[in-house]
Amino acid sequence: MEKLAAADLMSLEQYARERPAFRARVLRHKGERRLAIGPNTTWCFEDRLTVQYQVQEMLRTEGIFEPQGIADELGAFNPLIPDGSNWKVTLLIEYAQPAERAQALARLKGIEDGCWVQVAAHARVFAIADEDLERENEEKTSAVHFLRFELTPGMIAGLKAGAMLAVGVDHEHYRYVVHEVPAAIRLALVADFA
């Protein structure tokens, strides 16, 4: 997938006018790219459109319009766009109550390394996590992690031919599997390899 350039972005004024329609479009699109793995984690499979939305929202929120500021945001977010042989995922660890969340984040250190995808009978592919910076300390893990899953050409060919896709988390305190990714999500993810 092609990375974003400044020319691909709307100006702050244009974005202000088009934001409601653009936001609605992106939220529909994200719905086909979000997957709950158990009760407390959600994977958001990123692509060019989801990243563009994040950049546009950051520029809007921060009032960034200078070329260097825009370049900095693109530099921060472009690595989340898949490269043609992988999926890039934002892992969200979600607990409603702050006290429960704090306990869970302490208990779930290393969860990002236990995230995996599996195409049919191929071996599981475990995540390469948090390449940008460390998101865990001595006491706890972060509620947000960035994952990359590198697939082989054989796995990609299998997916394009209709092979099943399973995903899961294998951590001593959090083990959940989605044995078959729903068809609409699977189709959206396979399109990343077009």
Place of tokens 């429960």: 100
Query: Distance (Å, rounded) from C-alpha 25 to C-alpha 19?
Result: 10
The answer on pLDDT for 133 being more than 70 is: no
Place of tokens 């390469």: 128
CA distances from residue 5 to 21, 51, 55, 180 in whole angstroms, order as listed: 22, 12, 11, 35
Query: Distance (Å, rounded) from C-alpha 106 to C-alpha 23?
Result: 34
Residue 179: what pLDDT? 97
The answer on pLDDT for 193 being more than 70 is: yes
Rounded mean pLDDT, 25-33: 96
**pLDDT tens digits along 145-190:** 999 999 999 999 999 999 999 999 999 999 999 999 999 999 999 9
CA distances from residue 68 to 59, 74, 101, 142, 186 in whole angstroms, order as listed: 12, 10, 37, 29, 37
76: nearest Cα among 59, 63, 96:
59
User: 130 pLDDT band (50/70/90 cuts)?
Assistant: confident
The answer on pLDDT for 40 being more than 80 is: yes
The answer on pLDDT for 79 being more than 80 is: yes
DSSP assignment of 107-158 equals HTTTGGGGEEEEETTSPPEE-EE-SSS--B-SS-B-SEEEEEEE--HHHHHH
Q: Where are the domains of the chain?
A: 6-193
Strand (E) or helix (H) holding 40: none
Rounded mean pLDDT, 67-78: 93
The strand ranges marked E within 33-72 are 34-37, 41-45
Average per-residue pLDDT for the chain:
94
The answer on pLDDT for 139 being more than 90 is: no
